[in-house]
Structure 1
Amino acid sequence: MKKTLLATALAALSLSAHADDPFLPRVTIDASRISQLGIADSAAEGTVTQRQLAARTTYRPGELLEATPGLVASQHSGEGKANQFYLRGFNLDHGTDLRTTVDGMPVNQRSHAHGQGWTDLNFVIPELATRLDYRKGPYSVYGGDFASAGATDIAYAGRLTRGIANLTVGQNGYGRILVAGSSDIEAGAQAGSLLYALETMHNDGPFTRGDNYRKVNGVLRYSEGFANNGFHVTAMAYRAGWNATDQIPQRAVDNGTLGRFDAIDPTDGGSAHRYSLSAAWARTTEESSARVSAYAIANRLALFSNFTYFMDDPVNGDQFAQPDRRVTSGVDASYAWHAHGANGSFASTTTVGFTAQNDNIHNGLYSTKARRVIATTRQDHIVETSGALFVENQTRWNPVFRTVAGLRADRYRFDVASDRAVNTGKANDTMASPTASLIFGPWANTEFYVNAGTGFHSNDARGTVIAVDPKTNAPADRVTPLARTRGLDLGVRSEWFRGLQTSLSLYRLDMDSELVFVGDAGTTEAGRPSRRHGIELSNYYKPFRWLSLDADLAYARGRYRDGDAAGDRIPGAVEGVAQFAATVTPAGPWSGALRLRWFGPRPLVEDDSIRSAATMTLNGRIGYRVDRNLQVELEAFNLTNRRDAAITYYYASQLKDEAAPVDDHHFHPIESRSLRLTLAYSF
């Protein structure tokens, strides 16, 4: 089957000794896109190659996901904190409804102390990323939890054709060193490869009290063969600590009490570590393919925040701690049968599989002052276990029509032991999710797609058994463990005009309930039902060998569906997103790139009476190749030095000299213009 064979070939690059060299100049490369005709099952699905990823200018690792058309990765706190994500009309908080995996390992952390689906990508080393696969909408049996708005997977390299030693220095205390390489190892009759990477970084940012973000990050991987016929064993380790300049009230900036880069509570911040061990094995023949992977991940976070300042506690302040430590383990397995017609026009693949995951979690919520605990709101031990069975059939019926149909069944079990017996208990839930896709074409290098499916997101385990609000002691309603989503996409993808790749998608997504994070209660609760309509247009044009142009546009309309008198707008829901980029790679040692990102206004309250402003950033890079082994690169962020907000909220807070709480905009500024210079040596 064409899709299976091409997708397998793409996957094989992550272990191939002949994969794209990640250590060629990141600008002086051909950032061409691979055609998705005959591969993708929807207009909102695609693969971003290693060369495309390497050509991007990213301020932080989480911004790699912005290679997904229409996706925005923002930040409202210190550099070590998980990014804030926006996609398809969602404020996804720190990862809710956006499933993210790295080499098949889940990054989303369920029932997390700070928010459901916490997605911390600071452990990712961009130079090791060989591919980013993305899929928007609940149309695949491989999605599962958190995948309703979209799903992304970053694949790491198994071998590097050349090693690298990178040194980067920049403004605002930025410094980074990366050393990576691989060596061939003879293991009996088989030849394997040992890959290593070690990264260390420091960044203060433009803030009055510097972030002092410091991290050490490492990867060690042994692999044999290819991704479709081989195996690998990988160990990763990441540690970091930072200060945080959280969002600040607009009124204090307007009256001159605070500068844009000042903080209310100078003791906010945190520390984190992530250690993982994973393995994957695959075998592929003409008739069948089998895959098995397993992982164990130890995560730990200590997070100190203060968003309301002195509203709840005028004496000690409102800082709170949300520690979270967990061990996540899981296994995924699938087996596929391939069938081919005698005339070659018919091909079919049927895949069956299962996935299982267990999270052993200890977290809580504490009132603190200067990171010292002064009161306990709640502390919990959570064991959350899930398993899923799925089946999917992909069939090409003739040269211009193919189908994908699947069914996934998930079972969840929640076991919460709280410091309050009344909030201790067990819950479980089951969800079946059918999906179907119809693909017509290609005609004149154009395909048409119809996608329909259901998905879900899990709610915080503590909310499924809660009886009493631990902050107020008032009775609390329990939430549904699994909330269903329903989606429909109509799309077209075309390459009829030479050098131009275009995809257009119209979508609708209904949710039984939005997820709402309640910070002072340390939990995530089920919100109101919603509906989103949207349109996405993605274009890639290569008019000349030395020039490539990108233009991605997205618009979404999100509304609550329950008729509440408070209003039908969804606070923080993104409406418009646009990205434009140009990459220039002329003959000779010089090259360059520019990327403009526009992130439109959003409603901040349900009646739409309060809205955020738009945010726009322009980033760029210039590269110069000194010789075969050495290149120099200058990156620039926020070239126009705009004074926009990275994120904006509207809520009540109280400053120390105020007699009562005040409803106000609270924002975190985008970083001021900064430069980074990199010397990259390959060996």
Structure 2
Amino acid sequence: MDGQPVNFVTHAHGQGYADLNPVIPELVESVDYWKGPFFGQLGDLSTAGGAKFNFFDTLPEGIATVGIGQHNYFRGLIADSIDLAAPASFDAKSPALPDVRSSLTYAFEYNYYDGPWNREGNSERLNGFLKYFRKSSRDSFSLTAMGYDADWDSTDQIPRRLIDSGGIGRYGNYDNSVRGDSSRYSLMGEWNRDESNGRTHADFYVGKYDLDLFSNFTYFLNDSTNGDQFEQQDERWFLGGEVNRMWEFSEGNSVTVGLQTRHDILDGIGLYNTTGTVRTSPVRVDDVYESSLGIYATADYRMNDWFRVQPSLRADGFYFDVDSNNPANSGDTTDGIISPKLNLIFGPWQDTEVYASAGTGFHSNDARGTSITIDPMTGLPTDSVDPLVRTYGFELGARTERFDDIVSTVSFFYLHSDSELLYVGDAGTSEAGPATERYGVEWALYWKPTDWLSFDNELTLSKGRLLDVGSDDEIPGAVPITMNTGITVGKSEGAFGSLRSRYFSPRPLIEDGSVDSRSSWQINGRVGYRKNDWELAVDVLNILGREDNDIEYFYTSRLPSEAPGGVDDIHLHPAEPRTFRIYLTKHF
């Protein structure tokens, strides 16, 4: 989000947890994407790629939106930019005054939703955003304060056998006390200067984050008396920033050098056994300090009119310090890694480029895993994990704009990780797993035949497997086929509409491949009408009314009537049924 990372390291609910709650969609001017470990400016947790949400410095117009829908859905938003200093006027009889612009952008958003679940979700979130922006001559500066506060009642995933037996319906739940609340407040600053031969950039961020989450995924498997409910608590300060300098040379050639740092200070990140959201005993409680420093250099050099080279080199150092409630699990460690990367671009010929990319990257592991010696659940000795995990990949592809109004890309990719982060459904967290490899083919097509019609389609065929584990080498949750398709019609005024489709094929839920998930095919649509500064729109979610599942895991759980040892079963959270929402928007 501008310069602030979305992902959290050493997170109570799983390493690399992505918190997108602060993002208000209407404030995003553009999104930059990078695919694969081929770009020097991207460090931790970016092996598959990265995305950057760029917020508006100044909104082009104010916006007020109210949305209502089924299951007590409500969304309200107001956002606008206040012009603090208009561009200076010019007088032919006197020297021109400096061109100075400044603005203050604000936004407030409120969301509420109960959902179709038998237990009302009572999901409530309040977002705030305030950004000061100033541009004068060669310099631009912004200071952004943003924050959200949210709480909800959970329904969690439920065992399929309980649905099949009629014990609960698809939208039922088991534990009526699980819930959560979360908040995040931050301050970001950014400065840019246009130099005669390039650009200088600096940014910083500092923030406070809290999460308190109660879950119960195995019911009475581990504790037949009090149940298996647990609490994950995360409370931290985080801060960091980046400084980089880009030099431009002749014919668009450039070199960029940058430095990035990040620090997370966690006070009492904890896992507790609970009953009815009341703590009964701590499993593990830690104070953690994790810091990193990364330096990188990238270049973009055109060798001739048909060949470009983009080499980059990155070096990262990490420090982990863990103070655990069990001294045997306390400790500190350091680790470092160097990551070379290279992109080769050939062409264009007939408006077509061919590219080849290769590079290494990494991801960090949870700091608590770097110092662990005793498993807090069993009390038995256990091995620590590597602080940093090497990854590498390559990609070969072609991009073309040979045909009018069409942009298309076809690519083959390969990605290897020395240890993949695997989400463990019954624990509600991610753990360091074995080495993996993934490979596949991707095809993307974007077609805009007229100014009022556009079409896009993205298809991925991929295979993933665990390495050095024998024949049971399926990666749980790895989706072999995904397809996203969209059609958009309409002009700036009059009728408009869109239809979007997202397909996930069945995927293995267990390493031996004996259990698969269901496929998921969700089609959502929007129709509306724009006139002057007003807009009315209706959204329809899950148009086909399919009984798909948003979550499916396979693990062991035990209901009170079942024998000790529990039952291996699919645990799922259903997708929402066909749902209608209506929005009224005023632009000003």
TM superposition score category, shorter chain reference: over 0.9
2:544 aligned residue: 640
1:230-245 → structure 2 map (5 Å cutoff): 230-245=140-155
Contact residue 423 and residue 467 of structure 1 kept, 8 A: yes
Determine which structure has more spread, i.e. the larger CA radius of gyration: 2
TM-score by length of 1: 0.82
2:362 aligned residue: 456
Pick one of 226, 229, 234 that aligns with 1:316: 226
Post-superposition shift, 1:401?
Answer: 1.2
Q: Do structure 1's residue 126 and structure 2's residue 36 form an aligned pair?
A: no
The amino acid that maps onto 1:385 is S
1:301 aligned residue: 211
How many residues are aligned here? 575
Post-superposition shift, 1:186?
Answer: 3.0
Post-superposition shift, 1:520?
Answer: 7.4
Alpha-carbon displacement from aligned partner over 1:545-601 (angstroms, at most 9, x marks no partner): 322111110011001121x23611111112110011111116961111101110111
The structure that is strand-richer by fraction is 2
1:148 aligned residue: 47
Q: Do structure 1's residue 352 and structure 2's residue 257 form an aligned pair?
A: yes
Once superposed, what is the RMSD of the aligned Cα atoms?
A: 1.7
The amino acid that maps onto 1:461 is A
Q: Which range is displaced more, 543-552 or 663-672?
A: 543-552
Post-superposition shift, 1:657?
Answer: 1.8
Post-superposition shift, 1:524?
Answer: 4.7
Q: Structure 2: how far apart are the matches of 1:177 and 1:233? A: 25
Alpha-carbon displacement from aligned partner over 1:283-341 (angstroms, at most 9, x marks no partner): 1234121100000021100001111011111222111000001111001010111111x
Q: Structure 2: how far apart are the matches of 1:181 and 1:204? A: 29
1:475 aligned residue: 381
Q: Structure 2: how far apart are the matches of 1:505 and 1:228? A: 40
Q: Do structure 1's residue 335 and structure 2's residue 245 form an aligned pair?
A: yes
Contact residue 471 and residue 520 of structure 1 kept, 8 A: no
2:92 aligned residue: none
Q: Structure 2: how far apart are the matches of 1:628 and 1:289? A: 40
2:15 aligned residue: 116
Shift in CA distance, 566/324, structure 1 to aligned 2, threshold 3 Å: farther
Post-superposition shift, 1:161?
Answer: 2.1
1:554-633 → structure 2 map (5 Å cutoff): 554-562=460-468, 564-565=469-470, 567-585=472-490, 589-625=494-530, 627-633=531-537
Q: Structure 2: how far apart are the matches of 1:605 and 1:464? A: 27
Contact residue 638 and residue 673 of structure 1 kept, 8 A: yes
Q: Do structure 1's residue 283 and structure 2's residue 193 form an aligned pair?
A: yes
Q: Structure 2: how far apart are the matches of 1:207 and 1:523? A: 24
Q: Structure 2: how far apart are the matches of 1:587 and 1:525? A: 48
Pick one of 576, 580, 583 that aligns with 1:675: 580
1:65-144 → structure 2 map (5 Å cutoff): 102-144=1-43
Post-superposition shift, 1:235?
Answer: 0.1
Contact residue 460 and residue 523 of structure 1 kept, 8 A: no
1:541 aligned residue: 447
Q: Do structure 1's residue 415 and structure 2's residue 325 form an aligned pair?
A: no
Post-superposition shift, 1:202?
Answer: 0.3
Q: Structure 2: how far apart are the matches of 1:519 and 1:367? A: 17
Q: Structure 1 regions of 5+ residues with no counterpart?
A: 1-101, 341-345
Alpha-carbon displacement from aligned partner over 1:386-425 (angstroms, at most 9, x marks no partner): 0011111111122221110010000000000000000000
Shift in CA distance, 551/516, structure 1 to aligned 2, threshold 3 Å: closer
The alignment partner of 2:18 has SS state of coil
Q: Which range is displaced more, 185-194 or 514-523?
A: 514-523
Q: Structure 2: how far apart are the matches of 1:588 and 1:379? A: 57
Alpha-carbon displacement from aligned partner over 1:17-42 (angstroms, at most 9, x marks no partner): xxxxxxxxxxxxxxxxxxxxxxxxxx
1:425 aligned residue: 331
Q: Structure 2: how far apart are the matches of 1:226 and 1:438? A: 37
Q: Structure 2: how far apart are the matches of 1:587 and 1:263? A: 44
Q: Do structure 1's residue 205 and structure 2's residue 104 form an aligned pair?
A: no
Contact residue 469 and residue 521 of structure 1 kept, 8 A: no
Q: Structure 2: how far apart are the matches of 1:515 and 1:623? A: 42
Post-superposition shift, 1:229?
Answer: 4.2
Q: Structure 1: how far apart are the matches of 2:496 and 2:260? A: 45
Alignment identity in percent? 43
2:294 aligned residue: 388
Pick one of 408, 412, 416 that aligns with 1:506: 412
Alpha-carbon displacement from aligned partner over 1:179-222 (angstroms, at most 9, x marks no partner): 10011113997331000000111011111111111111000000
- List 4+ stretches of structure 1 deviating above 4 A: 226-229, 517-524
The amino acid that maps onto 1:131 is S
Pick one of 438, 444, 454 that aligns with 1:532: 438
TM-score by length of 2: 0.95
1:371 aligned residue: 277
Q: Structure 2: how far apart are the matches of 1:552 and 1:336? A: 33
Contact residue 42 and residue 50 of structure 2 kept, 8 A: yes
Q: Structure 1: how far apart are the matches of 2:374 and 2:319? A: 21
Post-superposition shift, 1:499?
Answer: 1.2
Alpha-carbon displacement from aligned partner over 1:250-276 (angstroms, at most 9, x marks no partner): 111111001111111111120000000
Q: Structure 1: how far apart are the matches of 2:278 and 2:585? A: 43
Q: Structure 1: how far apart are the matches of 2:279 and 2:422? A: 26
Contact residue 425 and residue 555 of structure 2 kept, 8 A: no
Q: Which range is displaced more, 633-642 or 653-662?
A: 653-662
The amino acid that maps onto 2:243 is A
The amino acid that maps onto 2:42 is G
Q: Structure 2: how far apart are the matches of 1:118 and 1:538? A: 28
Q: Structure 1: how far apart are the matches of 2:471 and 2:154? A: 33
Contact residue 593 and residue 621 of structure 1 kept, 8 A: yes
Alpha-carbon displacement from aligned partner over 1:126-183 (angstroms, at most 9, x marks no partner): 1111111111110001111000011111111111121111111111110011010011
Q: Structure 2: how far apart are the matches of 1:536 and 1:400? A: 24
